[in-house]
Copies of this chain bind each other. A is one copy, B any other.
Amino acid sequence: MNIHEYQAREILESYGVSVPRAGVASTPDEARQLAVEFGGRVAVKAQVHAGGRGKAGGVKLVQAPDEAAEAAAGMLGTNLVTHQTKAGGAPVRKVLVAELTDIADELYVAITMDADAKAAMVMASSEGGVEIEEVAANTPNKIVRHAVDPLIGLSPYHARDIAMKIGVPTDLVQPATGLITNLCRVFQELDASLVEINPLVVTTDGRVMALDAKIAFEDDALFRHREILDLEDSEQNDELEQKAHDAGLAYVKLDGGRVGCMVNGAGLAMATMDITKTAGAAPANFLDVGGGAAEDKIAEAFEIIVSDDDVEVILVNLFGGILRCDVAARGIVMGAQYTGTQMPLVVAMRGTNANEGLQILADAGLNVTTVGDLGEAATALTQVLGADGSNA
């Protein structure tokens, strides 16, 4: 789950991480007032769940309150399109107005989960203000990595070592050490999946602070952080993804495809997506209905796929395990009846109660092509999409 920069900033502040003075504005006038409060020279930053705001005009540095209001007026109510947003962009409902600081140096520090280290990993670099992927590609030796010990956490001496290695000036190593330690506390105590400060700045007046902050949370741990759930801005999410999320479905909308996929199991779902290529088409979505899905959940999944305007055919590939195919079939019938769709279905059902499931679909009179496995599914898909499937 992602949150806005202003929310991340508030969390960091509550953990004792230094951040520039700032406030949130929903109107140009509020932005003006904040600029007045901060002495006129401020950054006005569009609050969207996407990187690349700077190049897209979502960050303006201004010198006076009126300019701040003007910048805010130019952002609020629009959709900001960056290289990370969907084509339509993301709606800007709020801007962050932050005091400008005189920057002596821009650094980078982030914490993620590392599967190989089986631990949280601190990544830091002397190269801040640019995307870390660039640094990793061009000058990988400028990235410092340290795995956080599960028993003792991030030792202060390691935090200190990291601060020194990324070039924090000697007299600021101590506050930087505290800052890095606190970032680690945020990551661990709140079950974050990412805490990224880019840039971490050293100011000309001798402070270290988090100038921009990105925090994402581990979805699987949100159940124990109710207060974080309240931070979610569902408007920033894709509408179908949000609907699927609310229904407890793992769904990802994919650009440019016309084959709707309904699968159980993430691996099989990816295999099913990949197989559309064999049919000369492309998947419109990833969808894993999960393990013990009940009828109504399957029905909801079906409705989400059908309500995607890109979808022309639905590829159902279910392998009964915890999921029972008869239950799934009843859910599909329910969804089809509710949406009234006539869309063609290519269906593979195997495993637990597969025959019962296929029988239920047949009895319901849906436009179903039954197939035996993934290979047959590709063939059937080609037929359904027409001879020249590659135009899809």
**Protomer copies:** 2
A151 to B150, CA, bound (A): 7
A151 to B149, CA, bound (A): 10
The residues of B that contact A151 with a CB separation of less than 8 Å are 150-151
Interface hits, A233-292 → B, CB 8 Å: none
A151 nearest in chain B by CB position: B151
Residues of A in contact (CB 8 Å), total 2
The residues of B that contact A150 with a CB separation of less than 8 Å are 151
Distance to closest chain B CB from A342 (angstroms): 50
A150 to B149, CA, bound (A): 13
A64 to B369, CA, bound (A): 79
A151 to B153, CA, bound (A): 10
A149 nearest in chain B by CB position: B151
Distance to closest chain B CB from A222 (angstroms): 19
Interface hits, A342-360 → B, CB 8 Å: none
Distance to closest chain B CB from A269 (angstroms): 33
Distance to closest chain B CB from A131 (angstroms): 36
Interface hits, A314-335 → B, CB 8 Å: none
Per-residue CB contact flags for chain A residues 140-151 toward chain B (1 = under 8 Å, else 0) read 000000000011
Distance to closest chain B CB from A272 (angstroms): 38
Distance to closest chain B CB from A152 (angstroms): 9
Interface hits, A141-167 → B, CB 8 Å: 150-151
A150 to B151, CA, bound (A): 7
Distance to closest chain B CB from A233 (angstroms): 29
A150 to B153, CA, bound (A): 12
Distance to closest chain B CB from A247 (angstroms): 29
Interface hits, A196-214 → B, CB 8 Å: none
Per-residue CB contact flags for chain A residues 51-89 toward chain B (1 = under 8 Å, else 0) read 000000000000000000000000000000000000000
A372 to B151, CA, bound (A): 49
A150 to B150, CA, bound (A): 10
Distance to closest chain B CB from A119 (angstroms): 12
Distance to closest chain B CB from A182 (angstroms): 14
A272 to B50, CA, bound (A): 70
Q: List 2 A-B contacts (CB under 8 A).
A: A150-B151, A151-B151
**Residues of A at under 8 Å CB distance from B?**
150-151
Q: Which 2 A-B pairs have the closest CB atoms?
A: A151-B151, A150-B151
